[in-house]
Chains A and B, each alone.
Chain A
Amino acid sequence: MAERTLHKTPGSLEHYLSDYESARQRFDWSESRRALTGSSDPHLNLAHEAVDRQVERGRADQIAARFLDREWRRVDVTYGDLQRHSNQFANVLRSLGIARGATIATLLGRVPELFSAALGAVKAGNVFCSLFSAFGPDPLKTRLQLGHVQLLVTTENLYRRKVAPIRSDLPELRSVLIVSEGTERKLPEGTSDFACLMDGASDAYQTTLTRDTDVALLHFTSGTTGKPKGVTLTHAAVIAQHATSQLVLDLHPGEVYWCTADPGWVTGIAYGLIGPLTCGVQLIVDREEFDPQRWYQILEEERVNVWYTAPTAIRMLMKAGTALTRERHYPQLRHMASVGEPLNGEAVLWGVEAFGMPFHDTWWQTETGAIMIANFAACDVLPGSMGRAVPGVEAQVVRRTAQGTLEVVESPEQVGEIALRPGWPSMFSSYLEDPERYRQSFLDGWYLAGDLARRDNEGYFWFVGRADDVIKSAGHLISPFEVESTLMTHPAVAQVAVIGVPDPIAGQAVKAFVELRSGFEGNDALRRQIMGHARRLLGAVVAPREIVFSDSLPRTRSGKIMRRLLRARELGLPEGDLSTLEGRE
């Protein structure tokens, strides 16, 4: 691959990481903590660092975030505004009798109120959880229950469509606050007006004293089986989110930065809110969905310096063509990075063609709380590679031995599982209500990421695949089990298996194989009916894009459907060991 290496030449800008080796050697997490807080105070609050610390440093009047709506109206929020609004929200929580430590959730689009609620909840010592607004009622119910959410901030529209139908199943949900979109008829029963409560609350609040090990954030991610995983991150996560915002995203104070991830996912919080604010940048937040012309207009008119986006979006832009890119100019743009799923080498190189610079792939997970492996702004890029371990992070390719231990794969180019040595500050502190699963994520002193990769002799990692059945579609991690469970609620469905199939744009697409109950005929009308059922309950991003009927799904002797075999057939791969397969075929 060496001939494809994209070499970097030193520019005029001082990068936070210019020499990889020496940065690794010098790096020390306790030093990062001191640099972030400016003190050795044993207390640490993630939201306080993102907002109040910035105000202390003279950024009260600087724009923290600019929100854009469909009509290109701009709403600017300064660091001072963020401080006042988050204080008001913290006071609202206290006035409603919400105790410290309780979980507060939002189900919102990309609006300023989400920022106030997130930062206010964390400052008040509560746990904040942002739920993806495109989820349907089924995934929402599971997550609100598992998270023991006591207060939810949402809109009237989302509440009526997605929460009201499941409210009776949520006895712990004490309060629902409605953010106005200006179109409401009247407040739904059992809810209160967000703005009204905020107006009545003081904008002064002394941040609750929290410690590094206290839980600050709850993010849900998908596993292969069972319920979604409730991943908790502590206040210490801000140390790693800050350090990587500098080392990887190279964010300098006052720069304009656009992270296109939705706050319903961990990237949208870690790098769409917390990390960048601790660097004193101006965030761009677009309330609209993906649209190539709109995105180019934002990059140009908002004078974006650093852009963090996702492979699916990049591939859609590629499809739209470079001619469209060149209709505008981006002299301020200086660094582009990508996250969410592996970025193919062609997409990296397309960045050079279209913008004169490559996209820098980064790798991390909800569980890692911050970027762990990356291509750096000042370092050479190997297109198609995930990059190298971030300073302060020890990453290896490992294999499980027959004795149940781990061995590090020392020789390059050998495939194994990505393992990380615990010790970085943003490592997850638990899976909610599942200590066993948490325990199983570690072996022999390593955290096992569940992603397969190989490493070349220069230390660059190359993604190979998932070690499990989890589907990655358009940057969303989707549990086949969750999709199967909802499909099973349709009266025509007897059995179902869900897998990810390759998709040129989304990376993977969700495909369902359905066995029908007797008396049902597998025709197009029924296929649409089942797909509609799944979309209503799961939401469009999670529901299958394709449903096929099958007479007999491959099962093991114990009756478990073999997704691996379905996937192998779908991709024309060798089917492997079939000794446990029931002979139905």
Chain B
Amino acid sequence: MEPKEIQTKLLALLTGVAPDIDPASIEPSKNLRDQFDFDSMDALHFATAVSEAFAIDIAEADYPRLASLEGAQRFVEERLAAR
């Protein structure tokens, strides 16, 4: 999967969980919780959605890697490459 495609998919999943987020306003390197009203239940739902959409297992210990959009992108790329 191309990085661009991953990013598009991640954005769709993120705004599915938190539709109040304007994709254009996201700073990819910044923690989502610092930019938006994004709570721990949102983080959990986002991680579950990413796991399902990309068919990858995500251990709870890896959840912090999904804290920013850039982090999530890197994580998914790594996992897909390792397959």
Contact = CB atoms under 8 A, between A and B. Distances in A.
Residue of B15, B40, B61, B63 with most chain A CB atoms under a 10 A cut-off: B40
B41 interface: yes
Main secondary structure of the interface of B (DSSP, over half): helix
A100 interface: no
A535 B63 contact: no
Contacts of A532: 18-21
Nearest to A133: B37
A505 B18 CA distance: 18
Contacts of A528: 15-16, 19
A316 B39 CA distance: 13
A440 B18 CA distance: 39
A363 B42 CA distance: 27
A319 interface: yes
A289 interface: yes
A8 interface: no
A536 B40 contact: no
A541 interface: yes
A474 B40 CA distance: 10
B19 A529 contact: yes
Nearest to B33: A289
A545 interface: yes
B64 interface: yes
A540 interface: yes
B44 interface: yes
A540 B19 contact: no
A531 B45 contact: no
B15 A293 contact: no
A529 B16 CA distance: 10
B4 to A, nearest CB: 22
Interface residues of A, number: 26
A387 interface: no
A474 B60 contact: no
A136 interface: yes
Interface in A440-487: 474
Interface string A206-218: 0000000000000
Contact of A293 (B39, B43, B45, B61): B61
A320 B41 contact: no
Interface string B39-83: 111111100000000000001110110000000000000000000
Given A532-B20, A545-B45, A136 B37 contact: yes
Given A293-B61, A529-B19, A532-B20, A316 B37 contact: no
A291 B64 CA distance: 8
A133 to B, nearest CB: 10
A324 B16 contact: no
18 contacts: A289-B39, A289-B43, A290-B40, A291-B63, A292-B60, A293-B61, A316-B60, A320-B60, A320-B61, A324-B60, A324-B61, A528-B15, A528-B16, A532-B18, A532-B21, A536-B37, A540-B37, A540-B41
Interface of A: 134, 136, 289-293, 316, 319-321, 324, 474, 505-506, 528-529, 531-533, 535-536, 539-541, 545
Closest 6 CB pairs of A and B: A320-B60, A532-B19, A528-B19, A535-B20, A532-B20, A290-B40
